[in-house]
Every structure is written in C-alpha cells, then in structure tokens.
Amino acid sequence: MKTERCVLMADDDANDVFLLQRAFRDAEIPNPLRAVRDGQEAIDYLSGAGAFANRARFPFPFLLILDLKMPRKTGMDVLQWLRNREGLCCLPVIMFSSSAHPSDVEKAYRLGVNAFVVKPSGVPQRTELARMIKGFWLTFNEPPLICTEGLDAAQRALRTDT
C-alpha cells in the first residue's frame, strides 16, 4: 500500500502558507499540504524526530517546498542537510523565495535543489503554479522507491531485481 503523498511546506510567513494552501485548493490538488514554521522544524519533520515521530500522522512528504530565509535554519541549511542523508537525498525540493538573487539561485542548485521559484504575488499566479506542481511533481514525476517507501523497501526491491 502506498503512503499518503503529502507535500511539506517550510515557511515562516503564515500568509505565504495560507496563500499556497488556497492555491492548492483552487487547483484541486488532493494531496495534503502540511506546513512547518522554520528550517529546524523541517529537519525534525523529515527525520521523524520529536513531535513528528508518528509517521501515520506525519507521513514522509512526496515533495518539499522550502522557503529560503527562515529562522533557526535557513532553506539552504535544510537543503544541505537533506542532500547529505542517504534515505532522504532524492526528495524533490522546490526553493520558494521572495527574490531570485543570482547567488542564492546558484547556491541552491549547487546544493541540489530541483527548482527555484520566486513567490508569485497574485492569487491567480499562485494557483497556476499549484497546477504546474500538480501536473509535474505530483502526477508525472516518478521518484525512486527510496523516496516513497524508504531505504529498507528500496534495498529489498533491488535484491529482488538481481
């Protein structure tokens, strides 16, 4: 049985979270959008630590939407942490920022981000972005088994293929 394909958003701006939740609703995305308020909470959620230990309640996300500038840990900190974890390194990540400073874009891609998106200012543009996320990342993209079922399941599948 496949796990719930939730999307995790790490953003310290409650308005940005609300607007993306609205855009997901308007785009008729059935995947739950879960939100954490800063980079450290994102790491805790992804690692299943502390309050996020119950994977039935806090399933591993299918996609991470990551704000660049957050308290405690930045989006870059989270991305670097994520890409250095064997069982987590292939999780698709969209950096979602208020600006596209060239050095930030370059650094994010060097650290392994899959996309860098400047936050759209209007509701219609956010809804269009949500539709694109739905179409590509949540419908057509096929991530490795390790990202959807975990390291143990991926290793079992590799053993049965040989």
Going by pLDDT thresholds of 50, 70 and 90, the confidence category of residue 155 is very low
Residue 153 predicted with pLDDT over 80? no
Show the DSSP H helices in 60-138 as ranges: 75-83, 102-110, 123-132
Specify the pLDDT at position 158.
Answer: 43
Average pLDDT over residues 36-56: 94
Our count of domains for the chain comes to: 1
3-state secondary structure of 46: helix
Going by pLDDT thresholds of 50, 70 and 90, the confidence category of residue 2 is very low
- The pTM for the full model equals 0.87
Classify residue 1: in a domain, yes or no: no
CATH value at residue 15: 3.40.50.2300
Structural domain containing residue 98: 7-161
With residues binned 3-state (H G I as helix, E B as strand, rest as coil), the percentages for the chain, rounded to 5, are 50, 15, 40
Average pLDDT over residues 55-72: 93
